[in-house]
Amino acid sequence: MSKYSITEFVRQTEQKDRGQGFFELETPRLLEVNLKLNDFVWAKTGSMISYLGKIKFEREGILEHGIGKTFKKALTGEGISLMKAKGRGKLYLADQGKKVTILHLQNEAIFVNGNDLLAFEPSIKWDIKLMKRVGGMLAGGIFNVRCEGTGMIAITTHYEPLTLKVIPGFPIITDPNATVAWSGNLQPTLQTDISLKTFIGRGSGESIQMKFEGDGFVVLQPFEEIRGKREHS
């Protein structure tokens, strides 16, 4: 049989059960969610590419997660539009071909850029958090999602993620547009480096940076994902 035959192509690319549980990486860029009877999952709106079985999709209700989050989303315009997938079957999720990473939180917390949060189990508590801004450098600051509890979440990155350890006394500076997530105990601040404006070429004329201090980690991607806009790898 030719290695380029249709039969061989189907064999190499067909869906495979890996027995990994509720969340499963079908490919590095595609998440499989295994829903049993009456299970449900929260997923980024528009991320469904296929499903098998009987699954119903519901748009996130106006007060689904409490009036506090509703007001925050209305105020910030944060791109955390969710849908609930409920039923029994296999659900396949993806986001612009970005790499998918599954994280199993065990009574832990992590901050994630809202645009990079693909899906999470209903046992995970979440809230929108605003980073303190410096003067008028940003019209509304930078908003992220704090996920906390025990359960699985799936995040996405453009290409391969890099995790840097934050050590007391040795702060790490990052570009907000390349910063995907960080440990829940860190409280980064925003700063500017005017000396970099010649090299950045951004409309603001300033280099806005995130400064992480303490003991934890930061997840980066080798790609600048301009917040509020949709970018493609």
At residue 198 the predicted structure's pLDDT band, cuts being 50, 70 and 90, is: low
Q: Dihedral, CA atoms, 170, 214, 98, 93, nearest 10 degrees? A: 170
Measured distance CA(94)–CA(48) in Å, rounded = 7
Summarize pLDDT for 132-189 with one digit per residue, the tens.
Answer: 655 545 544 577 899 999 999 999 999 999 999 999 999 999 999 999 999 999 989 9
Pair 31, 119: CB distance under 8 Å: yes
Pick the CATH number of 19-220 from 3.90.1150.10, 3.40.50.150, 3.60.160.10, 3.40.640.10: 3.60.160.10
> For the whole prediction, is pTM greater than 0.75?
yes
Pair 35, 88: CB distance under 8 Å: yes
DSSP secondary structure, 75-89, as one string? HH-----EEEEEEEE
Q: What is the pLDDT of residue 106?
A: 97
Measured distance CA(160)–CA(101) in Å, rounded = 10
Q: Compute CA distances 29 → 11, 90, 150, 164, 166, whole Å.
A: 19, 16, 24, 22, 28
Q: What is the pLDDT of residue 203?
A: 46
Residues for the chain: how many in total?
Answer: 233
